């Protein structure tokens, strides 16, 4: 198995070296005004911060300051609109290589009372692993680390991961298949899954496989390749995920990136089905993208600054170098459109800010892009009235 993974990782590296990287961001004119395809939304893009290194996750504090993870292991902070020069925290045991490192950050729903912040990152323990660690963030310091879940199989690629609290107050974690795609269908491993946990890492009593012999009780859904977007639809509470599809070396074609509605106990097919294939007992994607767009995030807009966007699903695209907006009616797709295509390069994280604007981050310094001189950047979409 070790030799198999080394071969796969070598093939991944070769595919990166010999395939075209994203071109340098062309940028747009200062104060350029953009329109939606339906011409009912007009907006500008403002630069919030520059000079970051592969920003991955956002988390707003109650005072509206923004915590940002950088993949090499740093937590940065934007205070009163300005990026502090020094990191607020550096993860001591992070292992940043390939696509992994310090990834997501989430605040506890009752952060104002308990000060809990959750970090998801890769580390070494006789090989690469992934874990989620809870800290207390008080007076500008990260203290009292507590491991929530660990020993998740990792690799330089396909390491996931998002960790977000759902409307039920439970912590959901997406994990990659760690480039061993057979693990996604195996129930005795946490690789290629969505996990559901209590805030202290214990397992909820109503998890779907709690009583299944041989299955890990943390598992909520399985058959995932590498999901990196996680958000809940306002009103319905449905979980939406974005997921990276296969690469050529896996012998299953390329493209096949997905948007899925993810539900308790269901099998999302990888590697048995992919793209738009169907099979009894497995769930095919709500949306599929070929050629690949490489979705790196997912958010629902629920603010007031863009009334037309309310309830829409958005995600940033890495290889696709754009933002995709999806208009939904419950479980059904009404329409979709591309925004800001090829203007800023690779886009990963997206979140609605406390001001109702839509924030996003570039990922042009991740080894697969051609960075502009001020990359990576945090930007926001602001309505033009």
Options 108, 158, 244, 274, the catalytic residue: 158
Determine the straight-line distance between the first and last CA of the chain, rounded to whole angstroms: 58
- Six token digits for residue 352: 């609605």
Closest CA to 273 of 245, 239, 242: 245
Residue 59: strand pairing partners: 67
The Cα–Cα gap between 182 and 303 comes to: 41
Place of tokens 């037309």: 308
Neighbours of 63 (CB within 10 A): 8
Classify strands 102-107 and 322-329 as parallel, antiparallel or unpaired.
unpaired
The Cα–Cα gap between 380 and 378 comes to: 7
SS3 state of residue 258: strand
Note if 158 is an active site residue.
yes
- DSSP state letter for 341: T
What are the distances in angstroms from CA 295 to CA 63, 202, 301, 313, 317?
A: 30, 30, 17, 12, 5
Catalytic residues: 158
């Amino acid at each position: 198995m070790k030799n198999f993974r080394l071969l796969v990782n070598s093939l991944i590296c070769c595919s990166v070296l010999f395939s075209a990287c994203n071109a340098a961001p062309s940028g747009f004119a200062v104060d350029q005004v953009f329109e939606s395809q339906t011409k009912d939304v007009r907006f500008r893009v403002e630069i919030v911060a520059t000079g970051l290194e592969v920003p991955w996750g956002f988390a707003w504090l109650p005072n509206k300051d923004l915590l940002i993870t950088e993949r090499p292991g740093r937590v940065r902070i934007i205070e009163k609109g300005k990026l502090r020069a020094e990191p607020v925290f550096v993860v001591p045991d992070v292992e940043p290589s390939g696509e992994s490192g310090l990834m997501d950050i989430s605040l506890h729903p009752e952060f104002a009372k308990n000060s809990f912040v959750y970090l998801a990152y890769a580390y070494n323990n006789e090989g690469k692993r992934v874990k989620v660690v809870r800290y207390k963030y008080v007076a500008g310091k990260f203290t009292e680390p507590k491991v929530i879940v660990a020993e998740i199989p990792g690799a330089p690629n396909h390491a996931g991961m998002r960790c977000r609290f759902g409307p039920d107050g439970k912590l959901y974690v997406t994990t990659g298949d760690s480039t061993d795609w057979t693990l996604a269908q195996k129930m005795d491993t946490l690789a290629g899954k969505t996990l559901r946990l209590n805030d202290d890492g214990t397992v909820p009593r109503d998890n779907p496989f709690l009583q299944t012999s041989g299955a890990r009780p943390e598992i909520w859904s399985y058959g995932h390749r590498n999901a990196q977007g996680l958000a809940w639809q306002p009103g319905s509470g449905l979980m939406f995920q974005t997921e990276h599809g296969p690469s050529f070396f896996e012998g299953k074609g390329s493209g096949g990136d997905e948007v899925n509605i993810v539900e308790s106990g269901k099998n999302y097919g990888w590697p048995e089905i992919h793209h738009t294939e169907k099979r009894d007992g497995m769930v095919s994607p709500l949306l599929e993208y070929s050629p690949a767009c490489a979705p790196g995030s997912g958010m629902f807009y629920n603010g007031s600054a863009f009334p037309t966007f309310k309830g829409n699903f958005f995600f940033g695209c890495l290889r696709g170098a754009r933002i995709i907006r999806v208009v939904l009616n419950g479980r059904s797709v009404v329409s979709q459109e591309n925004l800001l295509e090829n203007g800023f390069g690779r886009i990963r994280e997206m979140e609605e800010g406390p001001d109702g604007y839509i924030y996003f981050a570039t990922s042009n310094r991740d080894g697969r892009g051609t960075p502009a001189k001020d990359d990576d950047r945090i930007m926001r979409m602001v309505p033009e009235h």
